[in-house]
Amino acid sequence: MKYDNEQQTQESSRGSVSWFRRFMAVVHYEMLWNIRKKKFIGVIAFAFLISSIGLVLPFILGDVIPQNAHFAITYGADSLSLFLFALVIAMNSMSSEFESGTIVPLLTKPVSRTTVFLGKLFAAFIVLLISFTVLFTYTTVGSIFVFGAQSDLGLLPVVLFGNIISAFIWVSMLLAMGTITKNTILTVIIAAGLFISLFMALPIVSVLSGPSTALNYFPGTGATGTLITADNSEFSVNAGTDSLGVNMVYALLYPGQNVNFFKTDIWSIQIGDQTLPAMELLYTESIGFIALRGLVIALAYIVVFLLIGWLAFKKTQINE
């Protein structure tokens, strides 16, 4: 065996170029893993199914289909979809490397742990971006057929960006958990437990004590309010991180408009034999502020989780 060593040594000495090549090698490694996961393919298929149902449901139910020029940009991904996408992309990105022992050959290559971590993160971002782009394109084309010509399609990238940020809270959380636990099942249990708890607890808290602003500081739907536009149209708005994409679109479409948050007192009003809920205005926030706050909270979660994951990965001892 004779190898040409000289050229390789010269290449190795070019720091920044070589770092980028190594980084892209990790991205390639991770992306091939992501797109070949059966779970990922399953979730993509499921997401297409849900989107299709959303589009064809009015036909199935025999409803009169109203003109909706903003369907494409306001038909955002729901909390469950965001979580599921994040879950299938990131749940075993770190943990299964430890579980299967593939971490050993990987970390004995000339790639730093930071490069590996960043590579995996970037690959998750790319896969999420491609998945959401394909889905958004499908939904947009479908909505043109169902609801007629769509307005403000230029805002689609904003929704896309918002949804990726929303999903990335869970991606970064899963990466951190996977690195700390080194166990996929445990990672999924913790993440799903947290998601389900927040998914169920926050609406209950919201009903019982009103849509407090505190709800917006947890990942999820947050407080629910009503956006009233200049032409007196009303939209239900969730102020949490999950609705970041749609809220940014509302902020751009209806700048300066307020969202009213009401507390529903379900025991208070008695009409005849019936008790009707009473609505009490708790507070008002501008849609721009809600979108900005959601973005800041989401980014804060992402940064904190990623820092935890990165530090854990840097410190971990490879006993596998």
Partner 1 sequence: MDYAIETDSLTKNYGGLIAVNNLNLKVQKNSIHGFLGPNGAGKTTTLKMLMGLLKPSKGSAKVLGREVHVDDANSRLKIGYMPELPKFPKHLKCIELLDIYGKMYNMTKQQRAEQIPKLINLVGLKGREKDYIGKYSKGMQQRIGIAQALLNNPELVILDEPSIGLDPVGMVEVRELIKEIAKDGRTVFLSSHLLFEVEQICDHVTIINKGSVLASDTVQTVSSMFIGPALIHLEIANLTNDVIFAVEKLPFVKKIYHEGIKLTVQVTSHDADVKVKVSKEITNAGGVIVGMSQKTSTLEDVFIQLIGGARTQ
Beta-strand ranges (E) seen in 16-164 are: none
Site map for partner 1, 93-122, x if CB under 8 A? -------xxx-xx-xxxxxxxxx-------
The answer to whether the beta carbons of residues 153 and 73 sit under 8 Å apart is yes
Options 20-28, 155-163, 204-212, 233-241: segment touching partner 1 (CB under 8 A): 20-28
CB 125 → partner 1: shortest distance, Å? 19
Identify residues 260-319 at the interface with partner 1 (CB under 8 A): 314, 317-319
Nearer to partner 1, 115 or 139 (CB): 115
3-state per-residue secondary structure call for 111-133:
CCHHHHHHHHHHHHHHHHHHHHH
The answer to whether the beta carbons of residues 103 and 182 sit under 8 Å apart is no
Check binding of 139 to partner 1 (CB under 8 A).
Answer: no
Check binding of 232 to partner 1 (CB under 8 A).
Answer: no
CB 313 → partner 1: shortest distance, Å? 9
> What do you get for the CA distance between the two ends of the chain, in Å?
32
228 bridge partner residues: 234
Size of the site for partner 1 (CB under 8 A): 40
Nearer to partner 1, 11 or 280 (CB): 11
Check binding of 16 to partner 1 (CB under 8 A).
Answer: no
Could you count the other beta carbons within 10 Å of the beta carbon of residue 53?
10
Task: Specify whether the backbone of 220 is left (phi greater than 0), alpha (psi in -120 to 50) or beta.
Answer: left
Check binding of 51 to partner 1 (CB under 8 A).
Answer: no
* Residue 243 to residue 222: CA distance in whole angstroms: 9
* Residues contacting 304, CB < 8 A, separation 6+: none
CB 108 → partner 1: shortest distance, Å? 4
Positions in the binding site for partner 1 (CB under 8 A): 1-5, 7-8, 11-12, 14, 18, 21-22, 24-26, 28-29, 32-33, 36-37, 100-102, 104-105, 107-115, 314, 317-319
